[in-house]
Amino acid sequence: MTDGEGARRERLTRTPPNVKLLPLAALQDPGARNLVLQIGDAYFHGFLVRQGDEVHGYVDRCPHAGLPLAQKLDDYLTPDKRLIACSWHGALFQPGDGLCVGGPCAGARLTPWPVKVEGGMVITA
């Protein structure tokens, strides 16, 4: 990503704590949602996965090829919504811990993005 003068914008892998992201009710159960946060002149690309009252956050970057996982907005889960899927090369990840359980990076993990639910809001931890 570049600005008007051609300088490359930094892509962050962490966010500050206590940033309100969205109401828990805005996240489908089970479901996933992409979020891009601008922090100063840099950007953070992540996604949330909800299963019941649990929400897990991950940096939107596959450990296999370094690409964002979804080619289609918010399309992070397998059709049965049990696993996270990389749409590029088919890697499959457990939603609770980001462990790759199938595909080209088996045994690797997604980079966690610490989030929590407080008062019905999903916020960064």
22 bridge partner residues: 122
pLDDT digits (tens, 9 = 90+) for 38-86: 999 999 999 999 999 899 999 999 999 999 999 999 999 999 999 999 9
Range of the domain at 85: 11-124
| Structural domain count of the chain | 1
Would residue 23 count as lying in a domain? yes
Would residue 3 count as lying in a domain? no
Would residue 85 count as lying in a domain? yes
- We report the CATH number of the domain holding residue 82 as 2.102.10.10
How large a percentage of the chain has pLDDT more than 70? 94
pLDDT at 5: 52
Would residue 66 count as lying in a domain? yes
Nearest partner of 23 among 114, 115, 119, 96, judged by Cα: 119
Would residue 79 count as lying in a domain? yes
